[in-house]
């Protein structure tokens, strides 16, 4: 299969996986949000950073190194497997003993037991990290979809049943653990790969020399990705963490659905042409424009229709999350560009530059938080938008050098797309204000805004013959 056909097939299957998982997960979250209180979601939001930190430490970037290694063998895979497994056990033990201190920090005694149970997911997922990596390296996203969706459906149904029976926050904990367990069992059964009882110091040093910098970058990024939940959890009540978490998770639905799908394809794709800068630049540009073309109008229209969306899906009790969600949508537009720029550094083997950029961006975040925290939660969220824009120029600095594709050139390529999305968003806003004045029900407001906005955006893109529209059309029509 040609590189282009492989990439297209990968995009289709990984998008199907992401779309299916996100839609099912979204439906489950709607039911859970109606059954549980914002503060119960807030408790899980408080420990998200520790879960993500554990995952970064456990992996140590070694699976990323496996993907970029051209011909990994059984020793490579087995070495990484046993390192991940051993690391996961050590991290679980560490978190088990520091759980009371985390609970004391947030002044939430229940967090001690939640952390000690929830963090078992580290050990469970460590058993299947290499199997999943092998599927990604082979760009076998069809099988990943077949594994992920049943796990989510079964765990979601059980989570809803537990919430209905009054298990509260524990329904979220057991649902996540069950999902991880089902994923792991299926990956072992369907991939048929098992580790050999070998641990090569030479292989370990090879992968660690690349991966440890990504690990440090991942730890730093994880802390700062969740720093807002840490600050909100420390200085505000649990329900405010719940509102922020709900707003952020809904924003992530389109962002991660598209970005993660494309990111899973672009990293192995970029790795396969890492020595051909002209092809790498061309592939990067096309994927970046296509991602922005899809994500920008979706996020802007969602921001405009946030009030009826939240009231219809989650009921009135979640309306305080609306202003958070609107600003977060704007901050999420550039998210795909951040990921793809950093993927270029990874496939070029420059994890040192990757780490350097992460440190610079985190200094920017610290300065922004220092300035915006005095304006409360909404000020912190506006700060996220500011840092997202600054991060774009920071991330594109080295990509511009490697691919001769500067920040200015990338801005020129995506600006018309974002401008069109804002124009369409303004039209949808005017229409929605009129519908609201006529006391039209929320579902019809959302439906009308989405349909009119989507048709208008697509129609103008067709008339203007935008490159990203033509690329997307070519992929859909497979020609």
Question: How far, in Å, are 2, 281, 284 from residue 273 at the CA level?
Answer: 13, 10, 11
Mean pLDDT of 64-92: 82
Mean pLDDT of 430-450: 88
- The answer to whether residues 163 and 76 belong to one domain is yes
In a domain, 247, yes or no: no
pLDDT at 351 over 80: no
Per-residue pLDDT tens over the stretch 81-100: 888 888 889 888 988 998 99
In a domain, 265, yes or no: no
Number of domains forming the structure of the chain: 2
- The answer to whether residues 174 and 315 belong to one domain is no
For residues 269, 274, 280, 286, the Cα torsion angle rounded to the nearest 10 degrees is 20
More confident residue, 407 or 18: 407
Within 10 angstroms of residue 114's Cβ, the number of other Cβ atoms is 21
In a domain, 243, yes or no: no
Q: What's the confidence (pLDDT) of residue 3?
A: 47
- The answer to whether residues 24 and 119 belong to one domain is yes
pLDDT at 258 over 70: no
Mean pLDDT of 427-444: 88
- The answer to whether residues 348 and 451 belong to one domain is yes
- The answer to whether residues 302 and 169 belong to one domain is no
In a domain, 134, yes or no: yes
Q: How many CA atoms lie within 13 A of 345 on its CB side?
A: 26
Per-residue pLDDT tens over the stretch 207-257: 777 667 667 766 776 676 677 777 777 777 777 777 888 888 788 777 766
316 confidence band (pLDDT: 50, 70, 90): confident
SS (H, E, C) the chain: CCHHHHHHHHHHHHHHHHHHHHHHHHHHHHHHHHHCCHHHHHHHHHHHHHHHHHHHHHHCCHHHHHHHCCCCCHHHHHHHHHHHHHHHHHHHHHHHHHHHHHHHHHCCCCHHHHHHHHCHHHHHHHCCHHHHHHHHHCCCHHHHHHHHHHHHHHHHHHHHHHHHCCCCHHHHHHHHHHHHHHHHHHHHHHHCCCCCCCCCHHHHHHHHHHHHHHHHHHHHHHHHHCHHHHHHHHHCCHHHHHHHHHHHHHHHHHHHHHHHHHHHHHHHHHHHCCCCHHHHHHHHHHHHHHHHHHHHHHHHHHHHCHHHHHHHHHCHHHHHHHHHHHHHHHHCCCHHHHHHHHHHHHHCCCHHHHHHHHHHHHHHHHHHHHHHHHHHHHHHHHHHHHHHHHHHHHHHHHHHHHHCCCHHHHHHHHHHHHHHHHHHHHHHHHHHHHHHHCCCCHHHHHHHHHHHHHHHHHHHHHHHCCHHHHHHHHHHHCC
Provide the token pair at 92.
């679980």
Q: What's the confidence (pLDDT) of residue 436?
A: 87
Return d(Cα 131, Cα 462) in angstroms, integer: 42
Mean pLDDT of the chain: 79
Out of 227, 253, 281, pick the residue that ends a domain.
227
- The answer to whether residues 3 and 136 belong to one domain is yes
Q: What's the confidence (pLDDT) of residue 2?
A: 47
149 confidence band (pLDDT: 50, 70, 90): confident
In a domain, 311, yes or no: yes
Containing domain of residue 277, as a range? 273-479
pLDDT at 1 over 50: no
In a domain, 478, yes or no: yes
Question: How far, in Å, are 75, 208, 454 from residue 12 at the CA level?
Answer: 32, 32, 21
447 confidence band (pLDDT: 50, 70, 90): very high
φ, ψ at 50 (rounded to 5°)? -70, -35
Question: How far, in Å, are 255, 303, 446 from residue 429 at the CA level?
Answer: 21, 10, 11
- The answer to whether residues 372 and 474 belong to one domain is yes
- The answer to whether residues 181 and 326 belong to one domain is no
- The answer to whether residues 349 and 219 belong to one domain is no
More confident residue, 181 or 25: 181
Q: What's the confidence (pLDDT) of residue 266?
A: 58
Mean pLDDT of 276-290: 72
Q: What's the confidence (pLDDT) of residue 174?
A: 93
Percentage of the chain beyond pLDDT 90 is 14
Q: What's the confidence (pLDDT) of residue 394?
A: 81
pLDDT at 286 over 90: no
- The answer to whether residues 185 and 305 belong to one domain is no
In a domain, 268, yes or no: no
- The answer to whether residues 35 and 179 belong to one domain is yes
Out of 194, 227, 260, pick the residue that ends a domain.
227
Q: Is 71 exposed, middle or buried (0-12, 13-18, 19+ CB in 10 A)?
A: exposed
Q: What's the confidence (pLDDT) of residue 254?
A: 73
- The answer to whether residues 185 and 291 belong to one domain is no
117 confidence band (pLDDT: 50, 70, 90): very high
Provide the token pair at 152.
């989510």
Return d(Cα 379, Cα 324) in angstroms, integer: 10
Return d(Cα 26, Cα 168) in angstroms, integer: 18
Out of 227, 244, 261, pick the residue that ends a domain.
227
More confident residue, 134 or 261: 134
In a domain, 27, yes or no: yes
Return d(Cα 101, Cα 109) in angstroms, integer: 10
Q: What's the confidence (pLDDT) of residue 202?
A: 81
């Amino acid at each position: 299969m040609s590189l282009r056909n492989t990439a297209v097939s990968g995009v289709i299957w990984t998008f199907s996986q992401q779309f299916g998982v996100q839609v099912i997960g979204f439906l489950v979250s709607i039911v859970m949000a109606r059954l549980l209180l914002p503060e119960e979601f807030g408790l899980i939001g408080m420990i998200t950073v520790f879960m993500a930190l554990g995952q970064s430490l456990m992996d140590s970037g070694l699976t990323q190194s496996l993907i970029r290694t051209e011909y990994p063998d059984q020793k490579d895979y087995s070495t990484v497997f046993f390192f991940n497994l051993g690391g996961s056990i050590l991290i679980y033990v560490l978190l088990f003993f520091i759980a009371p201190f985390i609970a004391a920090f947030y002044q939430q005694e229940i967090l001690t037991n939640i952390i000690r149970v929830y963090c078992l997911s580290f050990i469970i997922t460590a058993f299947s990290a290499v199997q999943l990596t092998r599927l990604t390296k082979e760009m076998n996203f069809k099988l990943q979809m077949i594994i992920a969706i049943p796990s989510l459906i079964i765990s979601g149904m059980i989570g809803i049943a537990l919430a209905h029976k009054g298990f509260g926050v524990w329904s979220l904990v057991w649902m996540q653990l069950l999902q991880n367990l089902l994923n792991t069992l299926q990956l072992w059964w369907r991939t048929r790969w098992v580790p050999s009882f070998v641990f090569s110091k030479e292989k370990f040093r090879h992968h660690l020399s690349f991966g440890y910098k990504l690990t440090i970058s991942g730890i730093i990024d994880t802390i700062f990705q969740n720093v807002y939940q840490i600050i909100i959890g420390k200085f505000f009540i649990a329900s405010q963490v719940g509102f922020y978490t709900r707003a952020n998770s809904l924003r992530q639905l389109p962002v991660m659905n598209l970005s993660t799908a494309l990111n899973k394809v672009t990293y192995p794709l970029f790795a396969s042409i890492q020595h051909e800068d002209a092809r790498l630049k061309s592939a990067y540009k096309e994927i970046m424009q296509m991602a922005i073309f899809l994500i920008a109008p979706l996020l802007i229209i969602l921001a405009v229709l946030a009030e009826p969306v939240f009231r219809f899906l989650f009921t009135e009790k979640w309306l305080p999350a609306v202003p958070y969600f609107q600003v977060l949508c704007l901050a999420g537009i550039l998210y795909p560009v951040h990921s793809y720029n950093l993927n270029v550094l990874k496939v070029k083997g420059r994890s040192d530059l990757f780490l350097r950029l992460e440190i610079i961006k985190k200094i920017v975040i610290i300065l922004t938080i220092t300035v915006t925290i005095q304006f409360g939660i909404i000020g912190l969220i506006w700060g996220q938008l500011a840092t997202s824009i600054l991060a774009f120029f920071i991330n594109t600095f080295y990509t511009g050098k490697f691919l001769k594709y500067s920040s200015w050139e990338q801005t020129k390529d995506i600006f018309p797309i974002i401008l069109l999305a804002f124009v369409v968003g303004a039209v949808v806003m005017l229409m929605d204000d009129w519908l609201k004045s006529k006391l039209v029900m929320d579902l019809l407001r959302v439906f009308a805004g989405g349909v009119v906005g989507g048709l208008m955006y697509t129609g103008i893109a067709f008339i203007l013959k935008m490159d990203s529209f033509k690329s997307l059309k070519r992929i859909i029509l497979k020609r």
